[in-house]
Structure 1
Amino acid sequence: MKISSGEKVFQVFLIGFITLLCICMIYPFIHVLSISFSTSTEALRQGMHWYPREISLYAWDRVLADKNIWLALWNTVFRTVVGTFLTILFMSMAAYPLSKKYLPHRNFYMMFIVITMFFSGGLIPTYLLVKSLGFIDSRWSLIIPALISTYSLLILRNFFMSLPEELEDSAKIDGASELRILFTIVIPLSKPVLATLALWSAVGHWNAWFDALMYLQDQKLFVLQTFLRRLVITTEGDPLLPISTEFDTQETVKAAAIMFTALPILIVYPFIQKYFVKGTLVGSVKG
């Protein structure tokens, strides 16, 4: 098929725009990574930091030697793994019956579920609810309130509706219960969309900090993002930053802490990325 000159110009423009957009997104990451491996003098240098001209591991030594950041890492990993697992489990158990036309009052239930996408109780009622449940200063305050995402629930429901009904009918003839059909037939066939939703949930849990700021006072329960916020914004008296150092050394330590926080989720992403586009598309083809 011959491409017209107008289409060629558009393709060149599109490629150039996407390339520029990628550079704008990748450069801040490269900049922080470069500063984290730089000396204090190099960190103060004006201009673009594509690589460390003067290499120093001082900032990484301080970050990796700090016990609090490892404790925050454990809290974040616990929140991400447990929260993502429970989110996928409960969303699957909710989306499966909602995908069945024979569910009584299905449209009524869906109406109330969709309303939550546009209206919520607000910050103060949510805090009072979490407090009344006894979740203040508990890891569950970071997991239970974020257990179900309405948008993800709708995507999963639509995907379940696209699966052949004959598979479930044959399983019912063999005497399988609804739960067995869900866990042995439906979920194994839904790996692409479940992987996509798991990625969304995991990234959301990993990056969340505001709920930890509201519900947690015990520093032993702080997650990485809360620890990082305290380090970057309220550095005075922070044990990770030596009081006697100047601003430049503090900046290298902050950069190393930021990279330490971002790297784990970046390492996990490539293993799930292949399911991302496929899972999103197939979950939105049927309503």
Structure 2
Amino acid sequence: MFNLLKRNRRTTSEYIFDNLNLFIMLVICFLTLYPIWYVIVNSLNEGMDAMKGGIYWWPREFTLSNYKAVFANQGILTSFGVTIAKTVIGTLTHVLFTAMVAYALSRRELRGRNIYMFVGIVTMFFSGGLIPYFLLLRDIGLLDNFLVYIVPALFNFFHLIIFVSFFREIPTSLEEAAKMDGASDIKIFLKVIIPLSMPVIATIALFQGVYQWNDYFAGIIFVNDPELQPIQTYLYKVVAESSSNQMMVNAPGGVANKSVTSQSIKLATMVVTTLPIVLVYPFLQKYFVKGMLIGSVKG
């Protein structure tokens, strides 16, 4: 009994180490979360007053004029609609297409399977470059087309590897039993494999959903039509260009509204475009971690 208590008793060095780790984690959490809090606080403060500085924890002159100016702009509402559409459609099509390819590559009887896997792995490290990619999308008619968000994102080889690892753990006896009942490969995939693969499907859907929501590059390079640009591209233009000045004109009261400045417009736009995914992500974190472990450990 004495030896057990002695083993459970922490030494001074262990106590110091644990508390030092706790302190470092708290510092990291603060450095991560405070910039987000700073942007939110300043976006809720009167614009001209915020330019004086000194606002760190709470709004000094609370106002919602910045957010009224943001939502008064029809462009941001259109961009939200584009982002929601491409996130939902892009995620569903990506999961279905990648799962179909992964299921085929997980079958050991597939001829040339190792060659396909090797070619796919090469594409993870090497690409043709942006200019050939742009010319390809132009030649197949995807520039200034909503499908530019969907078709190129149908397949991701990293996600395929996760799918393949999971599919290989499904007992082949289930497929053999389905074939004896007269089921085709497509029916086996839809009726047997998909229902058993909901954990990995949820994981890949979260991966792709977050990517689709945060993607701004495609809207900058491949889309010139403002009606087809997603919310993250809209945020880029507000921050990097002069779109915030136009939003000031459209604000309630127009340019005469002294409580709205271009800087306050930018901050409010940042909050509107990033807060939805920031709020959702902590609840989905466990699926991201699980997705990285799927297929790595059997049993």
Question: Which of 194, 205, 210 in structure 1 is aligned with 2:201?
Answer: 194
Q: Structure 2 CA distance, aligned partners of 1:114 and 1:73?
A: 35
Letter of the 2:223 counterpart: L
Compared CA separation, residues 106 and 251, structure 1 to 2 (3 A): same
Is 2:270 the partner of 1:264? no
2:45 is the counterpart of 1:33:
no
For structure 2, which runs of at least 5 residues remain unmatched after alignment?
1-6, 250-254
- Give the match for residue 222 of structure 1: 229
Q: How far, CA to CA, are the matches of 1:139 and 1:117 in structure 2?
A: 25
- Cα distance between partner residues in 2 of 1:165 and 1:175: 16
Write the distance in 1 (CA, Å) between the matches of 2:9 and 2:38.
39
- 1:233-248 equivalences under 5 Å are 233-235=240-242, 238-242=245-249
Contact 1:87/1:147 (8 A) holds in 2: yes
Deviations 1:112-143 (A, max 9, x none): 01000011010000000000000111011122
Q: Is the 8 A contact 2:48 2:259 kept in 1?
A: no
Distance 1:111 1:183 in 2: 27
Moved over 4 A (4+): 243-248
Partner of 2:74: 67
8 Å CA contact 2:237, 2:243 repeated in 1: no
Contact 1:159 1:283 in 2 (8 A): yes
**1:236 CA drift (Å):** 6.0
- Correspondence for 2:136: 129
| Corresponding residue SS for 1:92 | helix
Q: Secondary structure at the match of 2:86?
A: helix
Aligned partner of 1:202: which letter?
A: G
TM-score, normalising length from structure 1? 0.91
Taking the aligned partners of 2:49 and 2:173, their CA distance within structure 1 comes to 66
The alignment partner of 1:239 has SS state of helix
1:149 aligns to 2:126 (yes or no): no
- Provide the C-alpha distance between the structure 1 equivalents of 2:291 and 2:32, rounded to a whole number of angstroms: 24
Equivalent residue for 2:297?
285
Q: Aligned partners of 1:248 and 1:221: how far apart in 2?
A: 27
Identify the residue that residue 96 of structure 1 maps to in structure 2: 103
CA-atom RMSD, angstroms? 2.2
Task: Check whether the contact 1:42–1:52 (CA below 8 A) recurs between aligned residues.
Answer: no
CA distance in 2, matches of 1:241, 1:186: 53
Matches of 1:259 and 1:29 in 2, distance apart?
8
1:253 deviation in Å? 1.4
| Equivalent residues, number | 286
> Could you tell me the percent identity over the aligned residues?
38
**Residue 8 of structure 2: which of 2, 25, 30 is its match?**
2
Aligned-residue offset at 1:169: 2.2
Q: 2:127 aligns with which of 95, 101, 120?
A: 120
Is the contact between residue 97 and residue 103 of structure 1 (CA under 8 Å) also seen in structure 2?
yes
Q: Quote the Cα distance in structure 1 between the aligned partners of 2:76 and 2:149.
A: 18
Return closer, same or farther for 1:149/1:47 CA change in 2, 3 Å cut-off.
farther
CA separation of 1:13 and 1:271: change in aligned 2, threshold 3 A: closer
Question: Would the aligned equivalents of 2:48 and 2:258 in 1 still touch at CA under 8 Å?
Answer: no
Shift of 1:266: 3.1
2:183 matches 1:176: yes
Q: Residue 266 of structure 2 corresponds to which residue in structure 1?
A: 254
Return the index of the structure with the highest Cα Rg: 2
2:215 alignment partner in structure 1? 208
